Chain A
Amino acid sequence: MTQVTGTVREHAKVVAVTGALLGAAAAFASHGISFNQNRIIEGEPTSLVNGLGVWGWILVGAWVVAGLVSLSPLPDRIRGIVVTVLGGAAPVLMLWGAGIAASAHVAAASDVARTSLLWAAWLSLFASYVVIFAATAWLEAGSLRAVLTYLPVAGVIGLALTGQLSELAVAREYANNAESFAVELRLHLAYVGGAVSIGLISGLILGLIAVRRRSLEPAIFGTLNVLQVFPTLAFIGLMNPILTGASERIPLLEALGVRGVGWAPVIIVLSAYAVYPIARNTYTSLSSLDSDVLDAARGVGMSRTRMLAEIEFPLALPVIIAGLRVALVQTTAGAIVAGLIGGGGLGTFVFLGAGETATDLILLGVIPIMVLALFFDRSVLALQRALQPWDTTR
């Protein structure tokens, strides 16, 4: 649906105001922050406005001004800049205030006291996303918009690096698990990198075979579709007896450390899921190329291999990369399952936390997974756009 820019900007007004209202409401909602005696016993939840003192009111002020400026008749560019900056300032203000309140709580209570952010605080972050999403519609695409969009990310990283957040419960969990966190993060990235690489290579090969040999296409995609449907836990479970048996019979596999649990089933299962979007996009993009272009290439006497390398593959690349993006995001989230079967990775913290209902330990696993997924998504999207300068959709 293409729409005239006028309505998009009019729409942005409604969305930005809604986001600002949501943010302001979240600041008053009952479950903003809680000051606990220790990591398990929950304290009384309170609203951000109550818990953060003056910072809470500054936060509300930021939302109110953002809402008013959205409605004002100022020029689009000014409105876009002001509202984007305010929407981005909100999470920085909230976390900064929470960090200060957490320090005060520890000083007043005891060293084992913990300060946790609750759902209204996360809702506040979501409201920022909504407001920034809407307000950037008033800005022209370009470096200014990109900088303003990612300003809050830089702000939060800055707060974390300067130790302003170190008394928040999630940061305390990190401090207690810093060494194992580094190990599990690296392992998680290794799973994602390994599985997506395997998926990319096999996906490209299978997609190409399906294009060249049309008769094999149903068999290839039928098989991939079946694997795609396997429930993750059942798939991992199914690999256990198979790999245990294979490892007992083949000394080489045993030497490589292939067992029924651990890294081998995780890599196999994640790769099997990652192949599908890449193979599918390779096949569809290569089989829907403009026949005139291909005829022209044949006309100048190109060989099949050269045609693939110089014409077909470059033209299909943006769609293939879109498949890669899906595979990357899926695998980053999916690799959580490794923590369940002794494979390590960030899922370790999630299942450890689930066992002792320590919400902040669960978040220590979940937040990095989401940040990584978002980072991969945006980076590959940027790459996709760089390859398709003619496509200006957001």
Chain B
Amino acid sequence: MNAKRTQLVAHWATIAVLAGVTLWMTFDVAGFSALLTLLVPDVETVVYPTKPLSTLMAEQVTLVAMASVIALVVGSLLGAVALSRIGRPFRDIIVSVGSLSQMVPSVAIMALAVPVLGYGAEPVVLALVLYSILPIMLNVIAGIEGVPPDAYDASVGMGMSPWQRFFSVQLPLAMPVISGGIKNMLVINVSAATMGAVVAAGGLGMPILAGFHDYNNAYILQGALPAIMLALLLDRLLTSPGELTVEAIT
């Protein structure tokens, strides 16, 4: 099993490096500025003046965390409802609407929510939640439906209550599929939260937009590099070591 160990070491080494780089960019202002000066030699101000990067990163993580937790709770509940006897008729329409939701750009939802919710974090959290509920729901449905019938039958035979069955048999067996959904949601949310700068929600998109506005590539990289690192870090954290299942997307 040496190959497996190498894989495991490589996996955690990657995570450690990504985490290290993300933290370094966020907190070592002098060091990161030196790198930016090296990359973009011809700009006058290197450091984005409005807010320190640590604040921006905190805003970004807060946006993603809030939206993801809400979406996870609501999405799982709705998924469970769709699988219950009451909700079963709605399963197909939920799946259909789930695929429809991919057609609306998340930044459009943010922009449309501004007149109602004002500028700031609220429209972004709303857009992220609306955008993430459906994938979570679809993955809960797909995961539970993919549980082998034998396992389910055995749990019925053991005399478990429906709730017990759901939490101690179906949910654990469906977890790989559901965690895949959570990973996708987080990656999408990091991307959408960056876009949240358009409606003045703070986060790492702010220096990127400011950089486009002032023709300052140092600002742009100051937002872009940590955002990319954060997204990669979350992606790696939620991928099991050596996971190479390439499945068709339909």
Contacts and interface: CB of A to CB of B under 8 A. Distances in A.
Nearest to A119: B116
Contacts of B40: 241
11 contacts: A10-B89, A42-B115, A231-B228, A232-B191, A233-B208, A234-B227, A241-B40, A319-B250, A336-B108, A354-B114, A357-B115
Nearest to A18: B90
Given A233-B191, A233-B208, A237-B220, A323 B249 contact: yes
A37 interface: no
Given A233-B208, A323-B249, A366-B104, A354 B93 contact: no
Interface stretch (A250-258, A294-302, A367-375): A367-375
Contacts of B89: 10-15
Interface stretch (B48-56, B167-175, B196-204): B196-204
B102 A359 contact: no
A272 to B, nearest CB: 13
Give the dominant DSSP class at A's interface. Answer: helix
B246 interface: yes
Contacts of A221: 244, 246
Contacts of A353: 111
A359 B112 CA distance: 6
A233 B197 contact: yes
Interface in B94-122: 96-97, 99-100, 102-105, 107-108, 110-112, 114-115
Interface of B: 39-40, 88-90, 92-93, 96-97, 99-100, 102-105, 107-108, 110-112, 114-115, 145, 187, 190-191, 194-195, 197-199, 204-205, 208-209, 211-212, 217, 220-221, 223-225, 227-228, 231-232, 235, 244, 246-250
Given A241-B220, A284-B247, A359-B112, 15 more contacts: A14-B90, A15-B90, A42-B115, A232-B195, A233-B191, A280-B246, A319-B248, A322-B248, A340-B198, A354-B198, A357-B115, A366-B108, A373-B102, A374-B100, A374-B103
Contacts, number: 171
Given A240-B217, A241-B220, A281-B248, A333 B115 contact: no
B217 A260 contact: yes
Contact of B228 (A129, A230, A357, A365): A230
Nearest to A230: B228
Given A350-B111, A353-B111, A333 B104 contact: yes
Interface centre among A232, A234, A261, A319 (most CB of B within 10 A): A234
A237 B88 contact: no
A229 B187 contact: yes
B112 A370 contact: no
A244 B103 contact: no
A370 B104 contact: yes
